[in-house]
Structure 1
Amino acid sequence: MKAIVFDEIGSPRDVLYLDDIPVPQVSDGEALVRMVSASVNPGDFLFIQNLYPEPKKPHFPRQTAGNHGAGIVEAVGANVMLEPGTLVAFSYYNSWAEYSVVPAEWLIPLPAGYPIERAGQLVNPITAWDLLADSRVQPGQWLAVTAGYSSISTMVMQFAQRRGINVIAIVRRRHQSLDLKELGAAAVLDLSDLKTGIRDAVIEITGSAGLSGVIDHVGGPVSGELIRTLALGGQMVINGGMSAERFELHNFDVLLSSVEIRANIYRYFFSPPVEADRPVLREIIDIFGQPGFHVPVGGIHPLAEFKLAVTNSLDRADLGKQMFRM
């Protein structure tokens, strides 16, 4: 079968290649999934660079890349209740390939006919849902989201709009190809066209209310400014680090406003779904699958076009999510 693999730690631009490898064999408790789609995510690049903690580490030679995707159950091992033919999504390993073997407990069944380009990126709406919950922002309050054109940020905006939460989308530069206000942003803060400081701009937009929460995918000095703009009891939720720069704070920036800075770790990073998760997963899957929920897909590629998919993901987030279709 075809798979995108790598033999050493490094930049995804440099170490990935397409190869023929054997179809994996199913053991007890596992399912063989014929992949139909897989998303390209920043976390996939962290895995390739060996930046994730144990146990999410690559194993050589020919480690298959990709951690999230969807496919059809082809065969199952002993003690697996899923029926062959079931469409499933998962966050595990080895998704950038024509077939993957996944422990059944990690598989999330989807309705037949669920949109394939959405099934392959279920990690994103789950993450967006949890980020919004972690921010603790209430209806009528203000939330800032950095990397406003990223897939997860656009999903946060849409979930927030459904709950009556006001969102300021922070972008490095506004693009005409995607109107974030149509996706639920109450305001867009273009850093390339900023006439005042970030704090002053936010205070003006919010009518002096300030921010009750920040969801940050970037880091750097902008993050420090946003923290200092949080209202009393506000939350900063860190979900990424796209910038190589750092931010600085004084203890009083946190203490005097009683703000909280916390990390978001994807809920299925270390452990698989449990039965108690089923109701919220059904709700997320239902909303995410609706035609009115906008999901910018920037490119659907065969595995052979992995270089283009990786480059677009790294350099052109404004295009939308890059996907593989097998």
Structure 2
Amino acid sequence: MKAWRVHENGEPREAMRLDEVPTPEPGPGEVLLRVRAADVNFPDAMLCRGQYQIRPPLPFTPGVEFCGEVVAAGEGATGPAVGDRVITPAALPGGAFAEYAVVPAAGVLPAPAALDDAEAAALHIGYQTGWFGLHRRAALRPGETLLVHAAAGGVGSAAVQLGKAAGATVIGVVGGPEKAEVARKLGADIVVDRHSEDFVAVVKEATAGRGANVVYDPVGGDSYTRSTKCIAFEGRIVVVGFTSGTVPAPGLNHALVKNYAILGLHWGLYNTHDPVAVRHAHDELSRLAESGAVRPLVSERLPLSGASDAVQRVADGTTTGRLVVQP
């Protein structure tokens, strides 16, 4: 089978190589999936660079999530049946940018019937992260104001839709007119182009000086620092990632005097510590997808040959919504 592999760490376009490798076989408790669609995520670029919190042995295949079809099951594997269409995190070092992949059967979830393969692939990590961040960590309530950074990107676009579905007023921050238009189409009530506007001033004006109740921040750096200037009393800042490349050093004295909470979110830990909650979130997300309240924004569908370029573009921050590779 064909599979992209990283033999040496570096920028995705240079580090990823399309190889011919043996088709894997499922072991005990595992299933072999034919990859129908693999979503491109920022962590894929970090994996290529050797900068992710997980560092699989070289060579490895990137691609952290996908929609697939069950073609074989190992001994003792329960749950999905051959022919089922499913979504799942990948099991590195055998990632999703390949024609086939093996994953633990326990982590496989049914793909929502309302979504096609590419949309289903994009529903998992980004929307699960949004669900846990907004509901489990920040306890977002109807009528509150939600500030979403990188609102036209893969993670941010999910938070915009989930915030609207929860009854919040959503303010989306983007970089550039094209991304601003995307955020509006996603349902953001107010869109701020950070290249030409000060989101702190916009948030204060929109909330009559109260500030945002919840900040959803996958960017870090200056986006986090400036968010502390427009966070409401008893507000919650959800730290999702650092696509800016800068990890902020929060002033805890500032959190104290303004009475706000800083909440970390590493969604992958729930697979280990509370897998029942992951399945509950999947049921809720599937229900929202069936009702039309959420639908992943797939901006491009690419052949397997285009995976390395797609990962590089996501790393460079030039994309909107989700790029999906379909072998």
Report the TM-score, using the length of structure 1 for normalisation: 0.90
Aligned partner of 1:238 in structure 2 is: 239
The residue correspondences of 1:119-268 to structure 2 (distance < 5 A) are 119-121=120-122, 122-133=124-135, 134-175=137-178, 178-194=181-197, 197-245=198-246, 247=248, 250-267=251-268
Distance 2:37 2:196 in 1: 38
Distance 2:248 2:277 in 1: 38
Distance 2:140 2:296 in 1: 23
Q: Secondary structure at the match of 2:177?
A: coil
Distance 1:138 1:269 in 2: 22
Structure 1 residues 264-273 or 225-234, which shifts more? 264-273
Distance 2:203 2:275 in 1: 40
The structure in which a higher percent of residues are helix is: 2
User: Which stretches in structure 2 are left out of the alignment for 5+ residues?
Assistant: none
CA shift digits 1:90-138 (9 cap, x unpaired): 1133111101111111211235674101221222211121121123332
Aligned partner of 1:302 in structure 2 is: 303
CA shift digits 1:11-48 (9 cap, x unpaired): 21221010100001121111111111101100122222
Q: 1:215 Cα deviation (Å)?
A: 0.7
Q: Secondary structure at the match of 2:226?
A: helix
Distance 1:297 1:277 in 2: 23
Aligned partner of 1:322 in structure 2 is: 323
CA shift digits 1:173-195 (9 cap, x unpaired): 2327834233221211111222x
Distance 2:107 2:296 in 1: 24
Distance 1:231 1:260 in 2: 10
Taking a change above 3 Å as real, the CA distance of residues 249 and 29 of structure 1, as seen in their structure-2 partners, is closer
Count matched residues: 321
**1:312 touches 1:322 (CA, 8 Å); kept in 2?**
no
User: Which stretches in structure 1 are left out of the alignment for 5+ residues?
Assistant: none
Taking a change above 3 Å as real, the CA distance of residues 208 and 225 of structure 1, as seen in their structure-2 partners, is same
**1:118 touches 1:288 (CA, 8 Å); kept in 2?**
no
Q: What amino acid sits opposite 2:90 in the alignment? A: Y
Distance 2:223 2:161 in 1: 23
Taking a change above 3 Å as real, the CA distance of residues 89 and 249 of structure 1, as seen in their structure-2 partners, is closer
Taking a change above 3 Å as real, the CA distance of residues 127 and 288 of structure 1, as seen in their structure-2 partners, is farther
Distance 2:112 2:196 in 1: 44
Aligned partner of 2:81 in structure 1 is: 83
Structure 1 residues 216-225 or 20-29, which shifts more? 216-225
Distance 1:249 1:26 in 2: 45
Q: What amino acid sits opposite 1:217 in the alignment? A: P
Distance 1:266 1:187 in 2: 27
Q: 1:314 Cα deviation (Å)?
A: 2.7
Taking a change above 3 Å as real, the CA distance of residues 312 and 9 of structure 1, as seen in their structure-2 partners, is closer
Structure 1 residues 198-207 or 13-22, which shifts more? 198-207
Taking a change above 3 Å as real, the CA distance of residues 288 and 45 of structure 1, as seen in their structure-2 partners, is farther
Q: Secondary structure at the match of 2:178?
A: coil
Aligned partner of 2:19 in structure 1 is: 19
CA RMSD between the two structures: 2.3
Taking a change above 3 Å as real, the CA distance of residues 252 and 177 of structure 1, as seen in their structure-2 partners, is closer
Q: What amino acid sits opposite 1:59 in the alignment? A: P
**1:73 correspondence with 2:70:** yes
Taking a change above 3 Å as real, the CA distance of residues 246 and 155 of structure 1, as seen in their structure-2 partners, is closer
Distance 1:38 1:128 in 2: 19
Q: Secondary structure at the match of 1:148?
A: coil
Q: What amino acid sits opposite 1:92 in the alignment? A: A
**2:40 touches 2:323 (CA, 8 Å); kept in 1?**
yes
Aligned partner of 1:52 in structure 2 is: 52
Taking a change above 3 Å as real, the CA distance of residues 65 and 259 of structure 1, as seen in their structure-2 partners, is same
Structure 1 residues 314-323 or 31-40, which shifts more? 314-323
